[in-house]
Amino acid sequence: FAWWRRRKPQEFFFDVPAEEDPEVHLGQLKRFSLRELQVATDSFSNKNILGRGGFGKVYKGRLADGSLVAVKRLKEERTPGGELQFQTEVEMISMAVHRNLLRLRGFCMTPTERLLVYPYMANGSVASCLRERPPSQPPLDWPTRKRIALGSARGLSYLHDHCDPKI
């Protein structure tokens, strides 16, 4: 007696576009100048803040080529070996390539600034889709929430079990 079950095709809710950016290659991220990111974010203007947390603030920006980005400006932490630690973390993040993870586009590192550059996601973060919906919008239905949870779980599984090095 054999049991056979047809698998449903996988669905992904938050997917990063697969188009290739000639400046971004695995392990070879674009290093932005601080000036480029200042211009893109209107000198890190408060009107461009997308979010804030314990790590710092995230700003919306428009690069010279017209593309929209999210610039994560990390809080200044002066620690011995901080530059090397930041470089190592950037390198590790750049190696995490999975359809359920937002891919790092580039970074900026100066003696006083640490910035990470990601593609801008017009629909916002997963958290904002789940929790911060305007009263005029209905809550997400359960099938959509399930797709988000499964996509998040797949991304975490990749980071913890399949990424080299494991993150």
SS3 sequence, the chain? CCCCCCCCCCCCCCCCCCCCCCCCECCECEECCHHHHHHHCCCCCHHHEEEEECCEEEEEEECCCCCEEEEEEECCCCCCCHHHHHHHHHHHHHHCCCCCCCCCCEEEECCCCEEEEEECCCCCCHHHHHHCCCCCCCCCCHHHHHHHHHHHHHHHHHHHHHCCCCC
pLDDT tens, position by position, 12-34: 333 333 333 334 333 568 999 99
Task: Tell whether 72 is in a known binding site.
Answer: yes
pLDDT tens, position by position, 56-96: 899 999 999 999 999 999 887 666 667 778 888 888 888 88
Question: pTM for the full model?
Answer: 0.74
* Superfamily name and number for 30-162: Phosphorylase Kinase; domain 1 (3.30.200.20)
Domain segments of the chain as ranges: 30-162
